[in-house]
Structure 1
Amino acid sequence: MTSETDVQNAAAGDSAPEPGRIVHPNYGRITTTGAGNVAVAAELQKVLDGPRADVRELTRKSLTSDMLNPIGLTLEEHRDHVMAQMKRLSDSGMPELGFRKEDGGTGDTGGALTSFEMLGHVDLSLMVKAGVQWGLFGGAIANLGNSETRKKYIPDVMSLDLLGCFAMTEVGGGSDVQNLETTATFDRETDEFVINTPTPSAEKAYIGNAGRDGRMAAVFAQLITTADDGGELRHGVHCLLVPIRDEAGNDLPGVRTTDHGHKGGLDGVDNGRIWFDDVRVPREALLDRFGTVDANGEYSSPIESVGARFFTMLGTLIRGRVSVGAAAGAAGRTALAMAVRYSLVRRQFDHPETGRGIPLLEYREHQRRLMPRVARAYAYACAQNAIISQLDEFERNPEAYDEVRRREMETHAAGIKATVTAFANDTLTEARLACGGAGYMAENRITEIRKDCDVFSTFEGDNVVLTQLVGKELMSAYAAEFGNMDQRETVAFALSTAVDVVQEKARTSTLWQKLVDAVTDREHTDLLDRGNQLQLLVDREEHLLETVARRLRKAEGQDGSAAFKVFNSAQDHLLQAGRAHMDSWVFARFAEAVDACDDPEAKEVLGMLCDLYVLDIVDHDKGWFLEHNRLTTERTKAATADRNRLCTKLAGRARTLVDAFAIPEFVFEVPMLTDGGVDTITDEPADEYEVAGLAD
C-alpha cells in the first residue's frame, strides 16, 4: 500500500520513502515522512493563516506542551496552572498587541485577536482567562476610558499587577443587557457614585476572575443622577471601575463575592458572583467616553439617544465576541485534525481482498462525518480572518466607517461568533464519536476540549440572540434605528419597508454580483458552478427575508401584545434568515480566498472544499430547497451524489488538509495516536483501496 506522499514522490522521480513497520493489525503503518503533501499543505496554510501569518507563526513558536489543558488537577491547582501561563504570556509581550501605542501597546488589534485564537489550540481556559483580563476588562478601559484613566490603569492590566473582571451579566438579565438592574447613583454631596445591587436578580453572575483573582471590576450599571426637583434621571447603562478586593484577596466593604466552583468546563477560570451594597467610588471611576457627569451632577453625552448610546458603547467591545468565535474555530480544527489522524491509523474489519484491516476513513459514512466539517473549518477560518481584518481597520481608522458600515461589521461579528461556536461544538461531538472509545478517554483530550468549548455558544452573547440580531440587521435600512425599536415599532418599520428594498439591502451588502459576473457560465446549471452556488444562497436568503416581511404585515393596525405575538410568531423565520445570510457571507469570503490563491494545486483543493461547503448546506437544508421549488428532486439527489464524491476525493488528501491547520505537533502526542509507536501517520489513500475512490 502506498501513501499519498509516496505516490507524489514517485511521480516526481524521487524514490518512495521506506515504509514503516505495522505495529498492530488494527492500526495503520508509519512512513518516514509522517505527513501528507508538505508543499500543498504549506500553500493551504498560507490561505488559512491569512494576512497575519507572522503573528500566527510567532504565537506558534511561543506555545509549549506545558500550556496544554492539564488533566487530573484539583480546581485550585488548575487555576494556579493557568495563572502561571498567564504570566508567561504577559512576559512575552502578547498583551501589548491589543492596546494603542499611546497607552503602552503596539496598536495591533488584528494581531491580538489572532494570538487569542491560537490559544484555542492548547487550552481554552487560558484563552478565556487572557480574554477576560486583556480583552474584556482591559478592553473596557481602553475603549471607554479617557486618557488619564487609560494611563493610570492599562500598564498594570498588561503586566497583571491589576487583575480585573468584566461585570456585565446579571443572573436575571441574561442577554438583556440594556435593562440591567445594577445601579450607579451620583451623590452630589460627596462627588461619588454609589453602586448597588437592588434585587436578587441583579447579582453579577458567571463573571470571570470574580471567584478568586480579580481586584477590580468594570461594572455595567444604570447611571442615575438627580433632577432639580429631587427626582431620578436615568441615562442608561454605563461602565464604572469598582475595586472589589484588597491585595490580600479579601472583599472590600460593601462588596460580596462568591466562587462558582466547578463548572461544566473551563476549570482554570475562576468564575464567580458579585453583589454591591452602597459601594462608593469617585466620579472619575466612570468610563466616560460616551457619557460624563460633572461635579454639579449634570450629565452630558455626545450621543443624545439612550438606545443609540448603548449600542455604540457595546460596539466598541466586540473584540471579545470576535475572539470567542476565533478560539472556538481553533478548538474545532484541533478536534478535526485528531479525528482525521485517528481515522488514518485505526483499522476496523478486514478487507475482503487483502485480509488487512480497513482504515476508518475508507468508510463512506466516516468520510461524510469528517470531510464536510473540514470544508466548513476552512470556510470559517477565511471568514474569521475577514472579520478580524475589518475590526483591525476600524480601530485604526474609525472615520472610514460610517454608521451603516460599522453596524454591518458588528452584525457580522455577532453572526460569525454564533456560526463558528455552533460549528465547533457540533464538530467536537462528532470528532469524539469518530474516535470511538479512544475519543471518550480524557487522556486523548477531545472530551476535555469539548466541555471547555460548550459555553462558547452562550457567553459573549447567546447564539440564538446573536442570530436574531443578524436577522434584525437584514430587516433594517439602518441598524442603529432598528436597534432602538420595541416590538410594536419593529412591526411598523417592516410595514413601511418594501420587499424590493430588503432585497436591495441584501445585495448591496455583499460582493455576490461581482463574483457572479466574474465566474458564472450562465448556460451552465451545475451546482459545482461557482456563480450558481452564489445565486442559490442569495436566493434563499432573499426569499426568507420576504417571508419575514410578509408575516410581519399581519400586525398592521395592531399594537401592544398583539404586535408582539406577530413578531414572536415570525422569530423562527427571522433566525432562518440570519443563518442563511451568514452562510452566504461566509461563502463569499471563502470564494474570495480561493480566487486569491496563486498555487494551482492548492487552488484546486480549495475549490473542492468550497464546493463541498455549499453542497453540505444544500444537503442539510434540502427540504427548504425542495419545498420552495429552488431545486428539483433530481438535482438534490445529484447534489448528494456530488457531496459523497467530494468527501471521498478529499479524504484522499485528508492528512494534507489538516496538516495545513499548522497546529503544533505536541498537541497530537496523545495515547490514541502514539501508543504502540504509531506517532507519525500519513494518508493511506492506497492503490488497494481504489474501489472506494480514495486514490486521487
Structure 2
Amino acid sequence: MAFDAGELTALLDGRWAHVRNQVREALDGVDLAPADDLDTESHRARTLEQLQQLAKTGVPGLGFPSAYGGSGDTGGSVVSLEMLPGNLSLMVKSGVQWGLFGGAVVALGTERHHERYLSDIMSAELPGCFAMTETGHGSDVQNLRTTATYDPESQEFVVHTPHEAARKEYIGNAARDGRMAVVFAQLITGGEGHGVHALLVPIRDQAGNPLPGVEITDCGRKAGLNGVDNGRIVFDQVRVPREALLNRYGDVAEDGTYSSPIASKGKRFFTMLGTLIRGRVSVAGTAGSAAKLALEIALRYGDVRRQFGRPGSADEVVVLDYLAHQRKLLPALAKTFALHFAQEELVASLHDGPTDERAQRELEARAAGLKAITTWHATRTIQTCREACGGAGYLAENQLAQLKADTDVFTTFEGDNTVLLQLVAKGLLTDYKDQFSDLGTLGLAKFLADQFVSAMFERSATRSLVQRIMDGSGKDDILDRGWQLEMFDERERHVLDGLGRRLRKANRDNGFEVFNRAQDHVLRAGRVHVERQLLEAFVGAIERCRDEETAALLNKVCDLFVLSTIEEDRAWFLEHERITPRRSKAITEAVNELCRQIRPHAVDLVEAFGIPRQWLTAPIATGAEADRQEELRAYERS
C-alpha cells in the first residue's frame, strides 16, 4: 500500500502547522543539544544559556498578548513546547519560565503586571518560578498553608511560611536562576481568610543572592531533568507591596477591603486554577512527543537490526519482521497517533476558550484525563522501546535511557495522574447527576425501565452476534467502525452507571468510606472515558484526510489502536458479555494481522510526526547503523 507521507505530515501538523515549521526552522543551526553528560552545575548553566538562545528566536513569545510584544497564540505556544522532546531539561525550564511563571502573570494578573513584567519574562531577562506545591500539600492546592497577610498601615502583604509543611517544594528555577516567584498563599485581610491567591514575590537580587527573609535550598540531583534547578523556598515575614497581588479574580483596597468579581470562595478558587491548565496541556503534548522520539529510534533500529535466520537461508531476519517485535512497538505507535489527534483537539479547545462554565469544566477534565493517559503511555512506551533495542537501548548515546529518566516525573507533576483521573470521573458524575435533577419520580422510574430494556437488548444483541460469528457471516464485524465506537461508548456508559449506583449509597456519615471503596471504579471510569475520546479524535482525523491511500493506512492504524485496547481490557468485555470467547480470539488474530500489514510502513509512519531532525542523534537510529549492519553481514558471508 502506497501512501502520501507529505499528506500525513500535513494532517499531523494540523492547525498549527505554521508553528511547527517555525520551530523547525528556528532550531536549525541553533545548538540546543542536551547536556546530560555534564555535572549538575554545568548542566544547569548550559540549560539557562539555551533558554536565552531560545528566547532570541521569538518562539517563546507566541503565547503572550500582542500588546506586549507577543503573538497572542495560546495554542501555538503549547505546540512549540511539543517540538523540544530531544532536550527535556530545556523543555521543562521553558515551560516553567513561559508557561507557568509567565502564564500565571498573564492569566491572573492585570494591566499593571503585564506592563511591568511581560517583556522581561519573554526575553528571559527576568527568570521566574511558579511556587505552588508545598511539602505538606501537593495535589490539595486549596489547603496550602503559606500565608499572605495584608498590613493596611504599610499597604503591604506579609508572605510567611508558618511551619515546615508550608515550605514551597520542588520549585523549578528556584535553586539557581529564579529572581521572582508567583507564590500561591492563603490571602488574609482584617483577620479573614479569602482562600488561595497568587502574588509576585522577588526572591533574589540582580547578583543572584537570596533577598532578606527568603531562604532557598537546593533539591539536589534528581533521576533526570538535571538541567532544571529545582529548589525549596521558605519565607520569613517577607513584605511585598499591595500591587504584587495578581488581582484579576480578587483585589485588596488600600484599607484592606477585599473584593472579587466572583462571590463564592470555592468557585473563585477553581476559576483561578482553571486559567492555569496550559501547563497540564503542555505536559501531555511533550510526553507524547517523547514517546514519538523513542518509537522512531526503536523502529529505525528494528528495521535494520538482524537476529537469527530462516531455515535454509544464510541471511538473518530483520527483528521488526518478527511478530513479537511488532507486538511490542506497533500498538504503542497506534495509540501514539490516537493521543496526537486528541491532543490537537485539546489544544484547539484551550486556544479558542470555553464559551460557558460547563465548557470550562469539560476542558479542565479533558486536560486532566489526557495528561494522565499520555504520560503513563510515554513511560510505558519508552521502557518498551528500550527493551526492544536490547543492550544498545541502554547506552546513553542512544537517547532512550535519558528519555526514560527525564519523562518519569511527568506522571506526577502538573497533577498526580491518579488524582487527575479522579477529577475526570468527578466531572462525569456531575454530568450524570444532572441527568436526574429534573426527572422527578415518574421520570426516574422511566429511566430505570429504559436501563432494564437496554440491558436486555444488549444481551440479545450479543447472542445474535455470537450466532453471526459462528456461521461465518459476521467475521469482519470487529473492523466495523460503528461497532468499535459502540463498544467504547457502551463500556463507558456501563462503568459510569455502575459507579453511580455504588456512590448513591453515600451519605454524610459514610461518604468518605463509600468513595474510598469505589476508587478502583472511579479510576476505571476516568480511563475508559478518555479512551473513548481518543477513538473519536482518531476518527475525526481520518475524516479530514484528503488522500485515499493515506486514509486507508490510517484506518488500519486506528483499527490496531481499537482492537489492541479491547484486547488489553478483554477481561471486562468478556465479563460483561460485550464479546464472546470466540470473538476475543478473533480480536487477537486481527491485531496480529494488522501488525503484519502496518509493519512495512512503520518507519514512514513515525517519521511523519516531523520531530526536528536535530533531536534524533542515536547512532542506532541513523543511516550509519544500516551501513554497519550491512558490513557485518558482508564480513560473515566472507
One of 338, 353, 362 as aligned partner of 1:408: 362
Find the aligned partners of 1:417 and 1:471 in 2 and give their Cα distance: 14
Find the aligned partners of 2:612 and 2:174 in 1 and give their Cα distance: 32
Partner of 2:537: 589
One of 159, 166, 171 as aligned partner of 1:207: 171
Find the aligned partners of 1:187 and 1:100 in 2 and give their Cα distance: 33
Partner of 1:391: 350
One of 346, 367, 376 as aligned partner of 2:326: 367
Is 2:250 the counterpart of 1:299?
Answer: no
1:499 Cα deviation after fit: 11
Matched residue SS, 1:119: coil
Is 2:16 the counterpart of 1:45?
Answer: no
Partner of 1:95: 60
Partner of 1:132: 96
Query: Which residues in structure 2 correspond to 1:75-154 (within 5 Å)?
Result: 75-120=40-85, 122-154=86-118
1:353 Cα deviation after fit: 3.0
Matched residue SS, 1:568: helix
1:452 Cα deviation after fit: 0.4
CA contact (8 A) 1:502 1:545 kept: no
1:315 Cα deviation after fit: 0.6
- Cα deviation 1:420-466 (Å, max 9, x = unaligned): 11111110000000000000001111101110001111110011111
1:189 Cα deviation after fit: 1.3
Is 2:608 the counterpart of 1:660?
Answer: yes
CA contact (8 A) 2:331 2:560 kept: yes
Equivalent AA in structure 2 for residue 116 of structure 1: L
Find the aligned partners of 1:66 and 1:149 in 2 and give their Cα distance: 33
1:478 Cα deviation after fit: 9.2
CA contact (8 A) 1:241 1:285 kept: yes
CA contact (8 A) 2:87 2:615 kept: no
Change (3 A) 1:501 1:258: farther
1:675 Cα deviation after fit: 8.6
Partner of 1:168: 132
Find the aligned partners of 1:502 and 1:150 in 2 and give their Cα distance: 54
CA contact (8 A) 1:329 1:420 kept: yes
Equivalent AA in structure 1 for residue 404 of structure 2: R
CA contact (8 A) 2:89 2:227 kept: yes
- Cα deviation 1:82-136 (Å, max 9, x = unaligned): 111111111111121111112321101111111111012x211111100000000
Find the aligned partners of 2:303 and 2:225 in 1 and give their Cα distance: 30
Matched residue SS, 2:479: coil
Partner of 2:210: 251
Q: Which moved more, 1:191-200 or 1:662-671?
A: 662-671
CA contact (8 A) 2:36 2:226 kept: no
CA contact (8 A) 1:669 1:679 kept: no
Is 2:428 the counterpart of 1:474?
Answer: yes
Query: Which residues in structure 2 correspond to 1:441-520 (within 5 Å)?
Result: 441-477=395-431
Q: Which moved more, 1:81-90 or 1:312-321?
A: 81-90
1:58 Cα deviation after fit: 1.4
Find the aligned partners of 2:67 and 2:377 in 1 and give their Cα distance: 38
CA contact (8 A) 1:71 1:443 kept: no
Find the aligned partners of 1:499 and 1:316 in 2 and give their Cα distance: 40
Matched residue SS, 1:217: strand
Find the aligned partners of 2:163 and 2:75 in 1 and give their Cα distance: 40
Matched residue SS, 1:134: helix
1:500 Cα deviation after fit: 9.1
CA contact (8 A) 1:341 1:681 kept: no
Change (3 A) 1:383 1:501: farther
Equivalent AA in structure 1 for residue 318 of structure 2: P
Change (3 A) 1:553 1:333: same
Find the aligned partners of 1:603 and 1:87 in 2 and give their Cα distance: 41
1:305 Cα deviation after fit: 1.1
Change (3 A) 1:285 1:679: farther
Q: Which moved more, 1:55-64 or 1:92-101?
A: 55-64
Equivalent AA in structure 1 for residue 394 of structure 2: Y
1:501 Cα deviation after fit: 8.2
Matched residue SS, 2:478: coil
- Cα deviation 1:227-281 (Å, max 9, x = unaligned): xxxxx21111000000001111111111000111210100110000000010000
Return 5+ residue gaps in structure 2 as ranges.
Answer: 436-440, 451-472, 631-638
Find the aligned partners of 1:647 and 1:537 in 2 and give their Cα distance: 21
- Cα deviation 1:183-236 (Å, max 9, x = unaligned): 00111111111001111111000100001000000000001111xxxxx21111
One of 170, 186, 195 as aligned partner of 1:222: 186
Partner of 1:319: 278
Change (3 A) 1:112 1:224: same
Equivalent AA in structure 2 for residue 104 of structure 1: G
Equivalent AA in structure 2 for residue 218 of structure 1: V
Find the aligned partners of 1:134 and 1:680 in 2 and give their Cα distance: 43
Equivalent AA in structure 2 for residue 119 of structure 1: L
CA contact (8 A) 2:300 2:620 kept: no
Is 2:281 the counterpart of 1:281?
Answer: no
Find the aligned partners of 1:499 and 1:273 in 2 and give their Cα distance: 56
- Cα deviation 1:447-494 (Å, max 9, x = unaligned): 011100011111100111111100000000399x99xxxxxxxxxxxx
1:681 Cα deviation after fit: 10
Find the aligned partners of 2:416 and 2:562 in 1 and give their Cα distance: 26
CA contact (8 A) 2:560 2:591 kept: yes
Find the aligned partners of 2:387 and 2:445 in 1 and give their Cα distance: 44
Is 2:228 the counterpart of 1:269?
Answer: yes
- Cα deviation 1:551-595 (Å, max 9, x = unaligned): 11222xx424x2210011111111100000000011101100011
Find the aligned partners of 1:125 and 1:152 in 2 and give their Cα distance: 28
Matched residue SS, 2:185: strand
Is 2:382 the counterpart of 1:431?
Answer: no
One of 481, 499, 523 as aligned partner of 1:548: 499
Q: Which moved more, 1:95-104 or 1:128-137?
A: 95-104
Find the aligned partners of 2:262 and 2:578 in 1 and give their Cα distance: 46
* TM-score (norm. length: structure 2): 0.91
Equivalent AA in structure 2 for residue 292 of structure 1: D
Query: Which residues in structure 2 correspond to 1:627-646 (within 5 Å)?
Result: 627-646=575-594
The two structures, once aligned, show a CA RMSD in angstroms of: 2.3
Is 2:374 the counterpart of 1:420?
Answer: yes
Equivalent AA in structure 1 for residue 626 of structure 2: V
CA contact (8 A) 2:291 2:381 kept: yes
Matched residue SS, 2:12: helix
Is 2:317 the counterpart of 1:354?
Answer: no
Partner of 2:508: 559
Matched residue SS, 1:617: helix
Matched residue SS, 2:31: helix
Equivalent AA in structure 2 for residue 380 of structure 1: L
Partner of 1:539: 490
One of 143, 149, 154 as aligned partner of 1:190: 154
CA contact (8 A) 1:475 1:502 kept: no
Find the aligned partners of 1:568 and 1:182 in 2 and give their Cα distance: 29
Change (3 A) 1:676 1:115: closer
* TM-score (norm. length: structure 1): 0.83
Find the aligned partners of 1:119 and 1:631 in 2 and give their Cα distance: 42
Q: Which moved more, 1:56-65 or 1:574-583?
A: 56-65
CA contact (8 A) 2:297 2:618 kept: no
CA contact (8 A) 2:300 2:622 kept: no
More relative contact order, 1 or 2 (CA 8 Å, 6+ apart)? 1
Partner of 2:547: 599
Find the aligned partners of 2:449 and 2:278 in 1 and give their Cα distance: 30
Change (3 A) 1:131 1:540: same
CA contact (8 A) 2:135 2:165 kept: yes
Equivalent AA in structure 1 for residue 546 of structure 2: D
CA contact (8 A) 2:307 2:318 kept: yes
Partner of 1:158: 122
Change (3 A) 1:413 1:573: same
Matched residue SS, 1:477: helix
CA contact (8 A) 1:673 1:679 kept: no
